[in-house]
Amino acid sequence: MAKIIVVASGKGGVGKTTVTIGLGKALAAGGARVLLVDFDHLRSVDLMLGAAEDVVFDWGDVVLGRCAVEEALLQAQGVSFFACPPSYDGITARQVRALITQAEPHFDYILCDAPAGIGTGLVLAAAAAQRAIVVATPDLVCVRSACRAARELESLGVKSSRLVINRAVRSDIRRKRLLNIDDVIDSTGVQLIAIIPEDKRLRTAGMEGGVYLRNQLSYEAFTNLAGRVQGRNVPLMYLFI
Ligand code: ADP
Ligand code: MG
């Protein structure tokens, strides 16, 4: 059975899609079969995988009976993915669960990339998930909203959430300009699973070969995150802080 994980945040633009793709590709590099499902109408997954031109059908077309699942299921950079429909009109959580149940036997991990906030997109992205990863940058507003998203996920039945701190900058954290990592953990009440450093190569990842490349500063952090998601006892990387 696949492990189904929703990747969420309260605030937008904190790196959910980057983390979804980085984690997905790291899991795939270790031999896992990985499916990414985009739940954000902005459709960043196919773009960041450099496969926007390949998309003809999305998962909405599948659940609404407009195409076969094989027509919407695409592959890029070692992972499979479904693009997001332009609207959720007429789409229910039950249909999403049915789609993911259908895909489940073919994958080891299914990562559902949620949109920002706690609206319909999150409800659908969480519909089949057993666990959640909430992403925050190390600042108070972001951490509070991640905490809120974790609570919302709990009320949607996703009881187990882990926190990823993204875009951590050593010098800022040292000078206490940003929230200290320990404060972040305390204020979310959600256990930390990874710290991903600020990586200038990720800022342009959509245009320059993508996320999770060996020459990127964040490469090892994603490898370690994948190890922990797989239940291995990989120490948390505090080294660069
Ligand atoms: P979200 O899915 O939460 O909206 P994205 O993954 O699209 O966020 O990331 C938003 C922007 O931040 C993108 O331009 C992305 O390249 C950049 N970004 C994400 N993570 C990092 C990082 N660790 N270092 C540098 N830039 C990052
Ligand atoms: Mg996104």
Any ligand 1 atom below 6 A from CB of 202:
yes
CB within 8 Å of 74: residues ≥ 6 apart:
46, 51, 54, 55, 80, 81, 82, 83
Average pLDDT over residues 75-101: 97
| Of 220, 204, 155, residue with least CA distance to 212 | 220
User: Could you tell me the pLDDT band of residue 239, with boundaries at 50, 70 and 90?
Assistant: very low
| Of 163, 93, 167, 94, residue with least CA distance to 134 | 163
pLDDT single digits (tens) 12-35: 999 999 999 999 999 999 999 999
Protein residue with least CA distance to atom 19, ligand 1: 15
Q: End-to-end CA distance of the chain, in Å?
A: 37
Max Cα distance, the chain (Å)? 55
Mean residue pLDDT across the chain: 91
Q: What pLDDT was estimated at residue 28? A: 98
Q: How much of the chain, in percent, has pLDDT values that exceed 90?
A: 77
Position 72 pLDDT exceeds 70:
yes
93 alpha carbon – ligand 1 mean position (Å): 27
Average pLDDT over residues 217-226: 95
The dihedral sign for the CA sequence 139, 49, 225, 72: positive
Q: What pLDDT was estimated at residue 113? A: 98
Average pLDDT over residues 175-200: 77
Q: Which residues of 210-226 are buried (b: 16+ CB within 10 A; e: fewer)?
A: bbbbeebebbbbbbbbb
Residues with CB under 5 A from ligand 2 (ion): 16-17, 40, 44
| Of 210, 174, 229, 228, residue with least CA distance to 44 | 210
DSSP result, 121-160:
HHHHHTTT-SEEEEEE-SSHHHHHHHHHHHHHHHHTT--E
Any ligand 1 atom below 6 A from CB of 15:
yes
Q: What pLDDT was estimated at residue 48? A: 95
How many beta carbons lie within 10 A of that of residue 150, not counting itself? 24
Residue 83 contacts residue 45 (beta carbons within 8 Å): yes
User: Could you tell me the pLDDT band of residue 241, with boundaries at 50, 70 and 90?
Assistant: very low
- At 213, list the tokens: 């490349």
Q: What pLDDT was estimated at residue 176? A: 63
- What are the C-alpha distances in Å from 51 to residues 41, 69, 73, 112, 170? 16, 18, 12, 18, 33
Any ligand 1 atom below 6 A from CB of 168:
no
Q: Which residues of 57-92 are buried (b: 16+ CB within 10 A; e: fewer)?
A: bbbbbbbeeeeebeebbbebbbbbbbbbbeebeebe
Distance separating alpha carbons of residues 3 and 129, to the nearest angstrom: 8
pLDDT single digits (tens) 47-71: 999 999 999 999 999 999 999 999 9
Q: Which atom of ligand 1 is nearest to the CA of 13?
A: 4
